[in-house]
Amino acid sequence: MLSVVVQAGGQSVRMGENKALKTFKGKPLIQRVVDRLAPIADELLITTNQPESFSFLGLPLFSDLMPDRGPLGGLYTALVSAKYPAVAVVACDMPFVSAPLLVAAASFLVRDEADVVIAETTEGYEPLHAVYRRATCIPAIEAAIRSDQWRMISWFPKVKIRRLAQDELHRYDPDGIAFSNVNTPEEFAGAERRASARSAPGRARG
């Protein structure tokens, strides 16, 4: 059983408007993310401090349980609010979020008795496209926050991390775009063009 949490708590400063609500191929970007993940979710919920903006999704909405704790506080809220042992956490600004990759990560979590299954790319860890074990991760995050360690991965030494290998990433995300996010109007437009090209006849689904 897998809980899927979409985090919609960013400030969207560089976008100039709420990027989760910005229209992407005819629908709000967050709706695209939800649609891509709904088939794999036994539970699907949204974390946001603007619940009135996302009521149209018809999904459970949860505000930060530890306000002003940045992204780590958002991750804590996601894990505490979810009800199943394994929780996939993703950002709302990832147009190409990969359901197959998250399903594989959830299976590795069980098989390898890991606490976090996560990719590590040239940009570092990808904590907002990863799968977590609630029982072990919640206390580790709580301890980090109490110690004023707010980095998203500050608590990783306290749990068992299972890194996704490059061949695994290529198998489930062959185009290498699952972790792409959009922070500026230019990035947004570029992602929309790419999604449209992937949806063209004879091409993979966008």
Residue-wise pLDDT for 15-55, tens only, equals: 657 899 999 999 999 999 999 999 999 999 999 999 999 99
pLDDT at residue 6 tops 90: yes
Measured at the CA of 104, the angle between CA 157 and CA 117, to 5 degrees, comes to 5
Closest residue by Cα to residue 162 from 116, 94, 110 = 116
Question: Domain 2-198's class?
Answer: alpha beta
Closest residue by Cα to residue 137 from 116, 118, 122 = 116
In the chain, where the domains are located = 2-198
Q: Average pLDDT, stretch 119-139?
A: 96
| 167 CB burial (10 A radius; 0-12, 13-18, 19+) | exposed
Residue showing tokens 């976090």: 116
